[in-house]
Amino acid sequence: MTRKLFGTDGIRGTANAEPMTAETALNVAMAAGRYFTRGDHRHLAVIGKDTRLSGYLLEPALTAGFIAMGMDVVLVGPLPAPAVAMLTRSLRADIGVMISASHNPYQDNGIKLFGPDGYKPSDEVELEIEALMAADPVAERAAPAGLGRAKRLDDARGRYIEFVKNTFPEGLRLDGLKIVVDCAHGAAYRVAPTVLWELGATVVPMGVEPDGLNINDGCGATATEAMRREVLAQDADLGIALDGDADRVVMADEKGALIDGDQLMALIAASYHRAGRLKGGGVVATVMSNRGLERYLDGIGLGLVRTPVGDRYVIEHMRKNGLNVGGEQSGHIILSDYATTGDGLIAALQVLAATIGSDRPLSTTGRVFEPLPQLMRNVRFNGTMPLEDAEVKKVIHDAERSLGKQGRLVIRKSGTEPVIRVMAEGDDELLVSRAVDTIAEAIERAAG
């Protein structure tokens, strides 16, 4: 049985259209409330959001759903997704909810759930919640005297700031560093500059004027050009770019060159390995990570385990097998010594901790391995199944043969937006480019 609502990162869609309506949000809260109501204690849900205008639509609907099931609700306002996960555990809550569509534009929104342990639910749990959404909740609703209450947690921002700062090594400071930080007009627009400033950095903030419509608009982890230009204009030491809910990060060196999640994972893993802190003998990544990362880790005696795309699958493998470094090329980096989900701020601080005192710029320390030529293209489709087309299958087969044993293809439907992602990788850059072009064109034809 497959999930109908939940994708690779919660439920996501266009705001005020199914499934991102107030009605669905209400139903999700009631079903999740039923699932996570265990024991006879007073039950609690934590709700956070990013800065999208549609957060005002979904937040009260989720609140009403939990209250109807007899759960109290703590509202924390705009905060990063990892902050909601942290506060869910800290407040001994039964469930946490982040209202965000991550790196998507403002027109979209999403609902991400966290269990009482701060981790995202498994596929099996999401299936059970979907089944409860289809069932009649009337019998489970609270009696009038048993309805929940809602309150705002005024110091939520400060709690998260202190939590993040405490992951930075004691005795280290960022004095003398000039850092550009792009918050994507998103959930970290207040906390990220504050963390860096309190640790001693000279901070150049960007993307810190949200208006409900400008989240991820030409800024953030998926649109880094403005951040990289600002690094050069400000003669900064480095740049940090977060996405809308701040669970992913990419960085730029002092020359404005981008450093992606694969390079950041390699840097952190190597640093932990030298310090005897790396657990499990390697790193967990997804099928999208560059083979150059795999070769680098192998060269220093470490392994790379690949999972399907989605940080939740990375985390599941890390938990099951006792590893403490994992993530995605896109910048979701999970450091389980500190957090239960990707945290862009914590990952950035670990990179800084690994490089401070080396007397080398990030252009040197951040280039850990030489990546293989890799190219990805997103092809939009609407209501069709182009990957089932015979001509598309033939083109993919021919591309695999042309790339040979040293190359690879990853072609998949996105779990967060209506696109098919076409990725090719290999030693021959020309063959890689040709493979992506021919496959993308075939998919476009099949999709009409």
SS3 441: helix
Answer whether residue 336 shows pLDDT above 80: yes
Residue scoring higher pLDDT (418 or 53): 53
Same domain for 249 and 144 = no
Residues 110-168 pLDDT 10s: 999 999 999 999 999 999 999 999 887 666 899 999 999 999 999 999 999 999 999 99
Distances (CA, A) of 154 to 73, 79, 97, 158: 14, 12, 17, 9
Answer whether residue 283 shows pLDDT above 90: yes
SS3 282: strand
pLDDT at 358: 80
Is 414 catalytic? The answer is: no
Q: What is the 3-state secondary structure (H, E, C) of 290-313?
A: CHHHHHHHHHCCCEEEEECCCHHH
pLDDT at 137: 63
Answer whether residue 287 shows pLDDT above 70: yes
Same domain for 70 and 80 = yes
| Helix (H) / strand (E) containing 75 | strand 72-78
Specify the CATH number for the domain of residue 403: 3.30.310.50
**Measured distance CA(57)–CA(61) in Å, rounded:** 7
pLDDT at 346: 98
Same domain for 197 and 329 = no
Least confident segment among 149-158, 251-260, 273-282, 437-446: 437-446
Share of the chain above pLDDT 90, in %: 83
Q: Mean pLDDT score of the chain, rounded to an integer?
A: 94
Answer whether residue 360 shows pLDDT above 80: yes
Same domain for 180 and 139 = no
Same domain for 271 and 237 = no
Residue 42 β-bridge partners: none
Residues 404-418 pLDDT 10s: 887 899 898 887 778
Answer whether residue 2 shows pLDDT above 80: no
**Domain for residue 355, yes or no?**
no
**Domain for residue 352, yes or no?**
no
Among 257, 290, 309, where does a domain finish?
A: 257
Best mean pLDDT range from 213-222, 350-359, 376-385: 213-222
Distances (CA, A) of 426 to 286, 327, 393, 402: 17, 21, 20, 10
Same domain for 139 and 23 = yes
Same domain for 68 and 23 = yes
Domain limits for position 36: 11-157
Catalytic residue among 100, 102, 330, 336: 102
Residues 6-38 pLDDT 10s: 988 899 999 999 999 999 999 999 999 999 988
pLDDT at 1: 61
Distances (CA, A) of 268 to 327, 365, 368: 11, 11, 10
Same domain for 412 and 333 = no
Residue scoring higher pLDDT (260 or 136): 260
Residue 112 β-bridge partners: 98
pLDDT at 23: 96
The greatest distance separating any two alpha carbons of the chain, rounded to the nearest whole angstrom, comes to 69
CB 37 within 8 A of CB 69: yes
**Domain for residue 5, yes or no?**
no
pLDDT at 380: 87
Peptide bond into 19 cis (omega under 30): yes
Share of the chain above pLDDT 70, in %: 99
Reported pTM: 0.91
pLDDT at 406: 78
Same domain for 236 and 334 = no
pLDDT at 39: 81
Q: What is the mean pLDDT of residues 253-273?
A: 97
**Domain for residue 150, yes or no?**
yes
**Measured distance CA(109)–CA(397) in Å, rounded:** 36
**Domain for residue 3, yes or no?**
no
pLDDT at 141: 92
**Domain for residue 353, yes or no?**
no
**Surface-to-core class of residue 188, CB atoms within 10 Å of its CB (0-12 exposed, 13-18 middle, 19+ buried):** buried
Specify the CATH number for the domain of residue 307: 3.40.120.10
For residue 194, how many other CB atoms are within 10 A of its CB? 18
Among 157, 177, 209, where does a domain finish?
A: 157
Confidence of residue 91 (pLDDT cuts 50, 70, 90): very high
Same domain for 195 and 149 = no
Query: In total, how many domains does the chain have?
Result: 4
CB 86 within 8 A of CB 247: no
Task: Fill in the amino acid letter for 326.
Answer: G
pLDDT at 138: 63
**Domain for residue 424, yes or no?**
yes
**Domain for residue 349, yes or no?**
no
Same domain for 324 and 190 = no
Structure tokens, 343:
């945290």
Same domain for 194 and 253 = yes
Answer whether residue 334 shows pLDDT above 70: yes
Structure tokens, 197:
């400033």
Residue scoring higher pLDDT (39 or 86): 86
Among 229, 257, 285, where does a domain finish?
A: 257
